[in-house]
Amino acid sequence: PPTVRLEDYRLSDHLIDRVELDVRLDPHDTRVTATLALRPNPAGRAAAPLVLDGDDLTLLALECDGQAVAPDAYRADASGLTLHRPPQRPFTLRIETRLDPTANTKLMGLYRSSGVYCTQCEADGFRRITYFLDRPDVLAVYTTRIEADRDSAPVLLGNGNPVEAGDVPGTGRHYAVWHDPLPKPAYLFALVGGRLDRVAKSFTTMEGRAVEIAVYVEPGKGDRAAYALDAVERSMAWDETAFGRAYDLDVFNVVAVSDFNMGAMENKGLNIFNDKFVLASPETATDADYAAIEAIIAHEYFHNWSGNRVTCRDWFQLCLKEGLTVFRDQEFSSDMRSRAVHRIAEVRNLRARQFVEDAGPLAHPVRPKQYAEINNFYTATVYEKGAEIVRMLRTLIGEPAFRAGMDRYFADNDGTAATVEDFLSAFEAVTGRDLSSFAEWYERPGTPRVAVSGTYDPAARTYRLAFRQTRPGAGADAPPLVIPVRVGLVGAEGPLDGATSGRVEAGVFVLEAAEDALTFENVADEPVPSPFRGFSAPVRVESPLDAAARLTLLRHDPDSFNRWEAAQRVALGLMAAQARGEASEDAGADAFVAALDAFLDTEALRDPAFAAQILTLPGEGELADEIGTDTDPDAIFSARQALRRRLGAGLRERLTRLRETLAEPAGAAFSPDAASAGRRALRNAALDLIAAADAEAGTALAQAQIEAATNMTDRLAGLATLALLPGEAREAALTAFAGRYADEPLVLDKWFAIQAMIPEDGTVTRIRRLQTHPAFAMTNPNRVRSLIGSFSLANPTQFNRPDGAGFDLLAEAVLAIDGANPQLAARLMTAFGPWRRLEPGRRAAAESVLRRIVATPALSRDVTDIATRSLA
């Protein structure tokens, strides 16, 4: 496929100031009339042809300034429209196209989801609605008239504010007109038409604007939209307080649909969501679901400023809106919940997804330099590492300067399409600092490593801490990164606050050279260093600390993140040794159990959510990442199981007591708040470990928990525990669960996922059977991700089976889906990412499946791109 390069960016030769769209919705024969107010771009090439993008369109009519365009003056086909000699002055183009929303299985452009008309235009879906300059730096003011059958589509929604609505007499049809006063790129266009229930509330902005917030959901599900509605209101209030950003329209609408390629979309004033991230009730949603709904509602709302008011010049700048908005939603969730626990969750996610991506063949810079298919660059690197860069910037310049820089960025770039350079220059302007070295973070793939080692001088009472940074694949001449290191020292009895270093300011040392060291004065005893507190930079830390020193951090570090990190490192060390066959004695595990016991004694009831994180071992993926090469997923699984068993046995009494103490009083009302969720998390972490050590007790406890459950978190945790314990009880519980939720597709997704993750030989067969289940559909992205995605991303032993049957299963699914929905197929393919780090047998099996996929005729650009990069 042709490659698009950042270095080839050129301004558009034409601009579009205003767009009037008339969309007559019909299941198979939708007519779109676009009236575009165009003009030559004074900064573009003079007398250039007008080249409009199109994708799968049929042109019905074309007029320029009210006159039909002569056939030899233009060329149009499904993929574009060229006007050879457009006027050299402002002109109006009227374009009529026809499309079939029901046949649109790609879920890009205008399509139908359970009968509801909806759109998805990012990144390049608007060209599937009309011919257009479908690029993010062409901003226009839109007025949209939507017309549809009144019975089947009583609700008609567009971007901006409602202007007018009425019947089309004698036709059974009606219409609504929407006007969006703020110029926007085409990727933010949206419309919805369908039968939907509405819940709403009003909000008054800090500027005194009355806003009607509404959430639209499938009929009968209005009571499940309350949490999302509340989250919108909290997001609006938070963005005012935290960033001084107010909402700018009279209405803010959220619509939930059941067929959606991603989580949600920030269309101006009309956010469209995967219903999984809107609908919640105690009976159907877990605490994790509530947290995800809150975060994604906030994320899309925050885009109103970071993305919509200030958009991206081109798709290479995607991190400008996505990384920044992830940072903003993470801050919001941290304020709504426990900051420490949220940071741990962010880092777990970063390591599980972004570090793995950065270490494999799909690694790319946060600002990529080229792409074959932009839809394949909505990645953990752009989103999560992009957010880490913004966080590092704040750590470097401090909170007040960060806020001033954000204000400056919004003020300077409002209503424009900006670049990463524009973002950084706002912070340079308010701080007077040169951020050109810091900008390097955007340019190169790979996770940096920082080696940290300390030397204590008892006579001088000084402690020297040396840092050395290296970057995978970077040559000796590669410039070093600017790395903020939040750092402190910890002694055997507690934090060593009296120890100071002139190079540590507000707790932060800035590592700017390849090697550097700082010296702490006034250090009474040999300390344990605590670098990268709060995970102050997205790096891999290499430190020679032994387990005893790390357990000192677990006990005494005032930084919660590094307490958790210490426990994770000890666990990783124990499991990695076992997986490599190096574990010779159990003393290390005994010390770890004792340290956890002591930790739980003082902390479990004070902060159950944090304690649950401490008890949750690093996943198999992280362990594979730690081992790095020639990994054997079975050995990794066994090592993790062994440590779970060990913890379960060693902590059995305490965990049993904790479960009793933390039990909800009978009849207590369910609340999804962070404290209640934390208590449930700790109870369920305890259940997991007890069951690992004692299958019989685990089975009984899990069955009792499912029986008594008043909410989905506890019911699902019980089922997940049973899923790891082969036998009658598991199958009976799975059958009962499926019966109870037969009419709840989003709950059945959990049921599909739990079975897809069973780490046993029979799972491939089980999945093949589940693919024929009446609730499963290859056309629905949520179903596919639940069954096939969970299998390939969260069941390492079975996906990476030595006989290749797991790879075959994924390949078959990818090829079955690709023709209909290439985006979905390509995302599934990313599970092959870590194939090169497998041991030789499995590696060969994966490679042969990848080669088979690449050789398949008529493969989409999306899948071709991922498969060829995976093999490169």
What angle do helix axes 822-829 and 861-871 make, rounded to 10 degrees?
10
Paired tokens of 848: 């042969």
- Give the binding range for ligand HT7 (CB under 6 A) out of 127-135, 299-307, 751-759, 795-803: 299-307
Closer CB to ligand HT7, 253 or 823, in the complex: 823
Of the residues 300, 516, 607, 818, which one makes contact with ligand HT7 according to CB under 6 A: 300
Site for Zn ion in 299-338 (CB under 5 A): 322, 325
Find which of ligand HT7, Zn ion, none residue 176 binds, CB within 5 to 8 Å per kind.
Answer: none
Among positions 55, 122, 516, 749, the unique one binding ligand HT7 when judged by CB under 6 A: 122
Please choose, from the candidates 47, 128, 147, the residue with its C-alpha nearest in 3D space to the C-alpha of residue 88: 47
CA 343 – CA 340 distance, rounded (Å): 5
Whole-angstrom Cα distance, residue 512 to residue 833?
31
Site track for ligand HT7 across 244-263, x = CB under 6 A: -----------------xx-
Residue closer to ligand HT7, measured from CB, 375 or 413: 375
Residue 265 Cβ, how far from ligand HT7 at the closest point, in Å? 4
Select from Zn ion, ligand HT7, none the partner in contact with residue 870, using the beta carbon and a kind-dependent cut-off of 5 to 8 Å. none
* Separation of alpha carbons 118 and 99, rounded Å: 13
**Which residues 6+ apart lie within 8 Å of 194 measured at CB?**
115, 116, 117, 118, 152, 153, 155
> Alpha-carbon distance 446 to 267, whole Å?
32
Beta bridge partners of 198: 216
**Residue among 379 and 562 whose Cβ is closer to Zn ion:** 379
Cα–Cα distances (Å) from 287 to 157, 590, 829, in that order, read 31, 33, 29
Active site residue 847: no
Q: How far is the CB of 677 from ligand HT7 (least distance, A)?
A: 24
Binding residue for ligand HT7, selected from 21, 50, 99, 123, defined by CB under 6 A: 123
| Helix-, strand-, coil-residue percentages of the chain, each rounded to 5 | 45, 20, 35
What are the angstrom distances between the C-alpha of 30 and each of 53, 99, 596? 19, 5, 63
Distances, alpha carbon 600 to alpha carbons 603, 691, 698, 743, 792, in Å: 5, 19, 20, 41, 34
Q: Which of 209, 227, 207 has the alpha carbon at shortest distance from 217?
A: 227
378 binds, among ligand HT7, Zn ion, none (CB under 5 to 8 A by kind): ligand HT7
299 scored as a contact of ligand HT7 (CB under 6 A): yes
Query: Interface residues for Zn ion in 271-290 (CB under 5 A)?
Result: none
589 is an interface residue for ligand HT7 by CB under 6 A: no
Residue 304 lies near ligand HT7 (rule: CB under 6 A): no
Tokens of 106: 């790609």
Q: How far is CA 366 from CA 316, 380, 436, 478, in A?
A: 9, 9, 16, 17
Sort 840 into a burial class: Cβ within 10 Å, 0-12 / 13-18 / 19+.
Answer: exposed
Compute the distance between CA of residue 671 and CA of residue 677 in angstroms, rounded to an integer.
Answer: 8
Which of 91, 203, 378, 670: binder of ligand HT7 (CB under 6 A)?
378
Please identify the residue of the shown chain whose CB is closest to the bound ligand HT7.
262
Cβ closest to ligand HT7, residue 187 vs residue 592 = 187
Task: Please work out the total of residues on this chain that contact ligand HT7, with binding judged by CB under 6 A.
Answer: 15
Nearer to ligand HT7, 123 or 554 (CB): 123
Question: Should residue 265 be labelled a site residue for ligand HT7 when binding is judged by CB under 6 A?
Answer: yes
Which of 725, 718, 726 is closest to 750 using CA atoms?
A: 718
431: left (phi over 0), alpha (psi -120 to 50) or beta: alpha
Stretch that binds ligand HT7, among 248-256, 295-303, 632-640, 799-807 (CB under 6 A): 295-303
Closest CB to ligand HT7 among 12 and 823?
Answer: 823
Q: How far is the CB of 378 from Zn ion (least distance, A)?
A: 8
User: Shortest gap between Cβ of 330 and ligand HT7 (angstroms)?
Assistant: 13
For residue 199, the surrounding DSSP H or E stretch is strand 197-204
Q: Is 450 helix (H, G, I), strand (E, B) or coil?
A: strand
Which of ligand HT7, Zn ion, none does residue 120 bind (CB under 5 to 8 Å by kind)? ligand HT7
The interface region with ligand HT7, picked from 117-125, 333-341, 503-511, 780-788 by CB under 6 A, is 117-125
Q: Are 849 and 809 in contact (CB under 8 A)?
A: no
CA distances (Å), origin 791, targets 288, 432, 724, 778, 846: 19, 50, 14, 15, 15
What are the CA-CA distances from residue 178 to residues 166, 190, 544 (Å)? 12, 11, 62
Compute the least distance from the CB of residue 534 to ligand HT7, in Å. 24
Q: Which two tokens stand for residue 428?
A: 């340079």
* Distance of alpha carbon 497 from alpha carbon 459, whole angstroms: 19
Q: How far is the CB of 232 from ligand HT7 (least distance, A)?
A: 15
For residue 716, the SS3 value is helix
Q: Is 813 in the site for ligand HT7 (CB under 6 A)?
A: no
What is the number of helices (H) and of strands (E) in the chain? Answer: 29, 33
Which one of Zn ion, ligand HT7, none interacts with residue 536, CB within 5 to 8 A by kind?
none
**SS3 state at 870:** helix
State the nearest-atom distance from the C-beta of 148 to Zn ion, in Å.
29
262 binds, among Zn ion, ligand HT7, none (CB under 5 to 8 A by kind): ligand HT7
Nearer to Zn ion, 322 or 862 (CB): 322
**Window 98 to 157, contacts with Zn ion (CB under 5 A):** none
The residue (of 55 and 607) whose beta carbon lies closer to ligand HT7 is: 55
Q: Which of 300, 331, 388, 626 is catalytic?
A: 300
Instruction: Please give the helix or strand (H or E) that residue 252 lies within, else none.
Output: strand 251-257
265 binds, among Zn ion, ligand HT7, none (CB under 5 to 8 A by kind): ligand HT7
Site residues for ligand HT7, window 311-340 (CB under 6 A)?
Answer: 322
**Minimum distance, C-beta of residue 522 to Zn ion, in the bound complex (Å):** 47
Nearest distance, CB of residue 303 and ligand HT7, angstroms: 6
Distance, in Å, from the CA atom of 31 to the CA atom of 96, rounded to the nearest integer, reads 7
Which parts of 483-596 are beta strand (E)? 483-486, 488-491, 494-495, 508-511, 515-520, 528-530, 540-542
| Residue among 490 and 866 whose Cβ is closer to ligand HT7 | 866
Nearer to ligand HT7, 122 or 289 (CB): 122
Residue (248 or 322) nearer to Zn ion, CB: 322
Q: Pick from 311, 375, 469, 562: which binds ligand HT7 (CB under 6 A)?
A: 375
CB of 107 to ligand HT7, least distance (A): 8
- Closer CB to Zn ion, 119 or 325, in the complex: 325
Report in angstroms how near the CB of residue 277 gets to ligand HT7 at its nearest.
11
**Residue 299 C-beta: closest distance to ligand HT7, Å:** 6
Point out which residues bind ligand HT7 (CB under 6 A): 120, 122-123, 261-262, 264-266, 299-300, 303, 322, 375, 378, 823
Catalytic residues: 300
**Where does this chain bind Zn ion (CB under 5 A)?**
322, 325
